[in-house]
Amino acid sequence: MRILIIYFSMSGRTKKVVETIFEGLKGHDVQIERIEYPMKARNIISNQEKILNGDLSDFTYNKIIENLAPYDLIFFGNPVYGGRQPAIFDGYLTKAQNINGKKFVIFCTCRFLAGKTLELMQTEIEKKGGIVANKRVFKGFFRIKMTKAQNFAQELSQELL
Ligand SMILES: Cc1cc2nc3c(=O)[nH]c(=O)nc-3n(C[C@H](O)[C@H](O)[C@H](O)COP(=O)(O)O)c2cc1C
């Protein structure tokens, strides 16, 4: 099974969760791809319309992630911005190809409230024909407990792999 983990992380909290999940999936064929943004997080909010429409020119990422055909399971992780996912998630889905029939695991990191983030992400994936197999919020005001990410990886190994 080929697994792709795509994530967006500004201050590194989502990155840490991804690295912990990756450790927990050792022995599987897992590729990690980070989407980076060189500006401040608030610019994502002010440029929301452009990003939602699939203009990702301000972001840097490996173009390989635009075609999901080679993968059996796709993880997408991002922070919560204003009770929802950052526009990059929606913008990415606008660009990505071969989502139909693919299984996804979605997760987000936040400090206090995730709001409807995962539900909104799931709806967008389902609109494109994808299937959300599992999802998780990683919450922590000062820090996210990495045991939660370890447990999630273990759960996924038993359920999906
Ligand atoms: C613009 C902005 C909006 C945010 N909105 C929320 C929010 O609605 N709820 C919440 O719990 N945390 C919120 N946060 C905190 C981030 O979701 C949290 O710190 C996240 O883990 C950061 O992930 P990263 O380090 O991978 O960038 C916000 C942070 C920023 C920069």
pLDDT exceeds 90 at position 160:
no
The overall average pLDDT reported for the chain is: 97
If one counts the domains in the chain, the total is 1
What domain range includes position 98?
Answer: 2-160
Closest C-alpha to 14, from 74, 63, 75: 75
**In the predicted model, what is the mean pLDDT of residues 122-148?**
98
When pLDDT is cut at 50, 70 and 90, the band that residue 161 belongs to is confident
Residues in the chain: 161
For ligand 1, mutation pick of 80, 117, 138, 145 (most atoms within 8 Å of CB): 80
List, for residues 6-32, the tens digit of each pLDDT value: 999 999 999 999 999 999 999 999 999
Q: How much distance in Å is there from the Cα of 108 to the middle of ligand 1? A: 9
> What is the value of pTM for the model shown?
0.97
Which one-letter amino acid corresponds to residue 110?
A: C
Percentage of residues in the chain having pLDDT higher than 90: 98
Is the shortest distance between the CB of 92 and ligand 1 below 6 Å? Answer: no
Is the shortest distance between the CB of 18 and ligand 1 below 6 Å? Answer: no
